[in-house]
Amino acid sequence: MSLKGLKIGFIGGGQMASAIIKGLIDSKAALPENIIVSEPSPERREYLKNTFPGIKIIFDNCALVKEADLIVLAVKPQIIKEVLKEITLCVDTSRHLIISIAAGIPIALLEAHLPEKIKVVRVMPNTPALVQAGISVYTGGRYTSSEDLALAREFLEAFGKAIELPETYFDAVTGLSGSGPAYVAAFVEALIDGGVKVGLPRPVAEILAQETILGTLKLMQGTGKNPYELKSMVTSPGGTTICGLKALEEGAFKATVMDAVEESANRSKELTLLALKEEN
């Protein structure tokens, strides 16, 4: 089975769903007429209609399931069980592949709330999907075949890279690549403010900050050099960069970023515990 020609349904049309939809349409992996979104908010529905001409927008999760082949669960983890309860009678285990992107929601819980033998793939994507530069981690459930996993991978590769990993890594992945775009954006913002503080006009600081980050990543990928080597290339003895790096050390920059990843991963674990606690 291939993605082409399949109907792809999104339950929830928020930030992450629309980033994926944009990636799918721009990469031509899916035609707009093969995409359906179920979304309760009238304002959001209007936004989706204007942003993605040709896609179908409804608010009936069961009707969406009946129309779609591949179903993406893109609602908040806190309401996932409500949605599973709603769709369970409409799911056809021989036809549907369910992809859940909900943070902290384990495969076992998804399977327990859907009919026996349902094919489920858990994914942690990230927002650069919108420009086809996402990185997604995925793992299959008890009943997913290698063909189902290949289809899931084809879907994910339409908007970036994809790595298959055991589910035990998902909290850590959420802390790093799932939440990571927010940390990187915060770092870019800090660089811009730093530039403004030392006298640069804001638009100039913005372009310098963005190009510095883009250029450094291209340098890293283009040369295969590790972060330590790249740091050494910039840091002339007795020069300016070492003074900047000392300020980062004094502000516990690396420890703070490590804490950010850990706190996010901890929250992912907490979301799992909350979802499982309500089971009993």
Ligand X SMILES: NC(=O)C1=CN([C@@H]2O[C@H](COP(=O)(O)OP(=O)(O)OC[C@H]3O[C@@H](n4cnc5c(N)ncnc54)[C@H](OP(=O)(O)O)[C@@H]3O)[C@@H](O)[C@H]2O)C=CC1
Ligand Y SMILES: O=C(O)[C@@H]1CCC=N1
Distance separating the N- and C-terminal Cα atoms of the chain: 38
Does position 16 interact with ligand X (CB under 6 A)? The reply is: yes
Is the CB of 38 or the CB of 174 nearer to ligand Y? 174
Does position 102 interact with ligand X (CB under 6 A)? The reply is: yes
Does position 194 interact with ligand X (CB under 6 A)? The reply is: no
Rule CB under 6 A: choose which of 13, 106, 140, 141 binds ligand X. 13
Is the CB of 91 or the CB of 103 nearer to ligand X? 103
Is the CB of 91 or the CB of 205 nearer to ligand X? 91
Pick what 194 binds: ligand Y, ligand X, none; C-beta below 5 to 8 Å, kind-dependent: none
Q: How far is the CB of 250 from ligand X (least distance, A)?
A: 31
Does position 64 interact with ligand X (CB under 6 A)? The reply is: no
Is the CB of 144 or the CB of 268 nearer to ligand Y? 268
Does position 264 interact with ligand X (CB under 6 A)? The reply is: no
Q: Please, are residues 253 and 245 in contact by the beta-carbon 8 Å criterion?
A: no
Rule CB under 6 A: choose which of 20, 71, 119, 126 binds ligand X. 126
Instruction: Indicate the residue whose CB is closest to ligand X.
Output: 14
